[in-house]
Structure 1
Amino acid sequence: MFDETKESEKGGLGLAEKLALKSRTVLIYGEINHQLAQRTCSILLALAAESNERIKIIISSPGGHVESGDSIHDIIQYIETPITMIGSGWVASAGTHIFLAAPKEDRVALPNTRFLIHQPSGGAQGSTEDILIQTEQVLKMKKRIAEHIAKATSNPIDKVLKDIERDFWMDCSEAEKYGIISRVIQTKSDI
């Protein structure tokens, strides 16, 4: 017999996700990693191939691997299907990077969502030369992420670079003022 729980644990879609996909809703929950990115990108590409009808993405994530977040972010911008991004719970770090892939007018949040922007962190190891190379790459990533946040939120790059020096948490009201979301929603009909 088909066990949805075991299928979901193996990276397959559980029953709830399959039902959500029928309404063209993609769920991004948990740590951003390669497995989640592959699954999310596959689903987005399949839904976009099926129809140009709007896709809703609900995200609640503490963040995770930057390049996995890049992959989802880039696929959201690659497909021509309109996306509505819905924040729920917390949208942090690489999760915020994914969230900002949608146009501002299509970025909304449920009332209790919190947002976090910050600079990337690394765990440099190895020889001095390797640590220097890794440090250079993290600095390039920091600049790229700051430029993306600045562009997506219409904030000056200098402000964003200052803000991401440390963890910068925002509630919905603060995120709206910052330009991360366009508005807070209460119900599905608010979209």
Structure 2
Amino acid sequence: MNKDYLQLEFDNLGSEANYKLADPTLVDYYKRLNNREILINQDIDDWIVEWTQEIVEWNREDKDIAIAERKPIKIWINSNGGSLNAINELINICNLSKTPVHAIGMGKCYSAGGLLLMGIPKGNRYILSSTEALIHDGSTGSYGDTGKVLDDLERTKKIEEDTKRFILSHTKITESEYDKNYRKNWWLDANEIIEKGVADHIITNIEELF
């Protein structure tokens, strides 16, 4: 049986529940956990370990349930981006998950947020009509000795090659189109997101979000 996270929070309050109202933010957080929803509206590296652990835990709860009968996990994305290493970890967990994982792009799917959207299993990637995605090149973030800067540059080139392969394999973007655009801030509106295969479907009925 799935955990009732909100009930657990009230149980933890004990006798204090008689005179102390729960933090509304905390109530909303546990409500989302009960609904198997992850809300990403900050830098993606901030909560990566907790998000991946929740997905693992939901799979553990479902291990004796047929995949077709499992309650899907929903990831709501409205993010400026974050750490590439962090987003790769979350994408890997989403693709290892036997419990279906769906993503809904809302407003901003920038940088690593866009990679997360396109990295969710195909067919499960949704956006609102106002959603934008941003694809751009990397940053070395390097300073100091020439040798260290050059080492960082080589690492950045390797990361860019890996990111290019990832984008080409998860979208309909061609190599020539990618090479032409990735050195700039490449903005995609909702229709272009669908056209380029970054997501699969624009939501037109609110009931699709339930």
1:122 Cα shift? Answer: 2.3
Selected match of 1:123 from 141, 146, 164: 141
Identity of aligned residues (%): 25
- For residues 39-188 of structure 1, what are the structure 2 equivalents within 5 Å? 39-51=50-62, 52-188=70-206
The secondary structure found in structure 2 opposite 1:16 is helix
Unpaired segments of 5 or more residues in structure 2?
A: 1-19, 63-69
- Contact 2:75-2:101 within 8 A present in 1 as well: yes
Q: 1:4 is matched with which residue?
A: 23
Measure, in 1, the Cα distance between the counterparts of 2:85 and 2:155.
12
- Contact 1:104-1:180 within 8 A present in 2 as well: no
- Contact 2:95-2:121 within 8 A present in 1 as well: no
1:188 Cα shift? Answer: 4.2
Q: 1:11 is matched with which residue?
A: none
Measure, in 1, the Cα distance between the counterparts of 2:23 and 2:182.
40
The secondary structure found in structure 1 opposite 2:78 is strand
Measure, in 2, the Cα distance between the counterparts of 1:39 and 1:4.
20
Measure, in 2, the Cα distance between the counterparts of 1:31 and 1:162.
28
Measure, in 2, the Cα distance between the counterparts of 1:165 and 1:183.
27
Selected match of 2:28 from 13, 16, 25: 16
- Contact 1:104-1:153 within 8 A present in 2 as well: no
Superimposed CA distance per residue, residues 148-170 of structure 1 (whole angstroms, 9 cap, x where no aligned partner)? 11111132233223221111111
Q: 2:44 is matched with which residue?
A: 32
1:123 Cα shift? Answer: 1.3
What is the one-letter code of the residue matched to 1:61? S
Structure 1 residues 2 and 136: alpha-carbon distance in aligned structure 2, compared to 1, 3 A threshold? farther
What do you get for the CA RMSD once the two structures are aligned? 1.8
What is the one-letter code of the residue matched to 1:141? I
Aligned residues: 183
Instruction: Using the TM superposition, name which of 123-132 and 46-55 deviates more.
Output: 46-55
1:91 Cα shift? Answer: 0.4
Measure, in 1, the Cα distance between the counterparts of 2:101 and 2:33.
14
TM-score, length-scaled by structure 2:
0.80
Unpaired segments of 5 or more residues in structure 1?
A: 9-13
4+ runs deviating over 6 angstroms: none
1:2 Cα shift? Answer: 7.6
Q: Which is higher, the Rg of structure 1 or of structure 2?
A: 2
TM-score, length-scaled by structure 1:
0.88
- Contact 1:147-1:157 within 8 A present in 2 as well: no
1:134 Cα shift? Answer: 0.4
Measure, in 1, the Cα distance between the counterparts of 2:48 and 2:179.
26
